[in-house]
């Protein structure tokens, strides 16, 4: 009975959140891990599992999870985000930069991240992973110089464009792949 009361109060908090500055929307995982495996309703399945893997000592690259409350807020508030989210996400990127020694947008040692969706309940096929967020013409050149892999930069760029087109821009994968292949 006590577990049901906890779940109900958590659900009520999510739907009534008004973007109050004290509400936590970003949970870190890596060297510092804020969540755990029991927090699936708040962190989604992937977020809770990543936190739990870090908590038990498995080697997981650092990152952060944006709570499911942000999605609830978004739809309850005319498709806007909580005002506290931007600063919390900036702190998340800063923590990633510190842990990895890389900087987002840097031309010498760029930080690249992947974006995954993760709902409270499994929803296969909802959203593909966006790989290499932070990759652009300048950072590709920097990585090519740094890793002496100039010949494969077109492949990296093509894969990133394909991923972004199908995930973020809702393009069908077939024509996107054909277009990219024809321009190589």
pLDDT at position 9 over 90: no
Local confidence band at 156 (pLDDT 50, 70, 90 cut-offs): low
pLDDT of residue 123: 64
In tens, the pLDDT along 49-94 reads 999 999 999 999 999 999 999 999 999 999 999 999 999 999 999 9
Q: For residue 106, which of 96, 115, 116 has the smallest C-alpha distance?
A: 96
φ/ψ of residue 152, rounded to 5: -100, 5
Share of the chain above pLDDT 90, in %: 43
pLDDT of residue 136: 84
Pair of tokens at residue 165: 């087109």
Local confidence band at 173 (pLDDT 50, 70, 90 cut-offs): low
Mind listing the domains of the chain with CATH numbers? 1-101 (3.30.1490.20), 104-184 (no CATH)
Would you say the pTM of this structure is higher than 0.75? Answer: no
Pair of tokens at residue 152: 């494969």
The residue ranking higher by pLDDT, 117 or 162, is 117
Q: What is the DSSP string of 44-96?
A: HHHHHHHHHHHHTT-----EEEE-HHHHHHHHHTTT---TTHHHHHHHHHHHH
Rg (CA), the chain: 19
Q: For residue 25, which of 80, 90, 93, 85 has the smallest C-alpha distance?
A: 85
Report d(CA 97, CA 103) in Å as an integer: 5
In tens, the pLDDT along 11-45 reads 334 334 445 568 999 999 999 999 999 999 999 98
Start-to-end CA span in the chain (Å): 61
pLDDT of residue 133: 83
In tens, the pLDDT along 142-154 reads 777 776 655 455 6
Report d(CA 31, CA 40) in Å as an integer: 20
Phi-psi sector, 176: left (phi>0), alpha (psi -120 to 50), beta:
alpha
């Amino acid at each position: 009975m006590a577990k049901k009361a906890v779940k109900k109060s958590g659900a009520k908090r999510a739907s009534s959140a008004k973007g109050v500055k004290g509400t936590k929307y970003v949970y870190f995982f890596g060297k510092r891990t804020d969540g755990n495996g029991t927090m699936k309703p708040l962190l989604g399945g992937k977020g809770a599992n990543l936190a739990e893997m870090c908590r038990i000592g498995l080697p997981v690259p650092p990152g952060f999870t944006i709570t499911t409350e942000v999605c609830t807020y978004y739809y309850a508030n005319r498709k806007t985000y909580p005002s506290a989210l931007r600063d919390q996400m900036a702190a998340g990127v800063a923590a990633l930069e510190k842990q990895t020694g890389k900087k987002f947008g840097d031309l010498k040692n760029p930080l690249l991240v992947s974006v995954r969706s993760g709902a409270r309940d499994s929803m296969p096929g909802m959203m593909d992973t966006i790989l290499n967020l932070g990759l652009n013409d300048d950072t590709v050149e920097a990585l090519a110089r740094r890793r002496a892999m100039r010949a494969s930069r077109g492949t990296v760029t093509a894969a990133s464009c394909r991923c972004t087109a199908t995930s973020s821009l809702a393009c069908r994968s077939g024509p996107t792949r054909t277009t990219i292949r024809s321009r190589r």
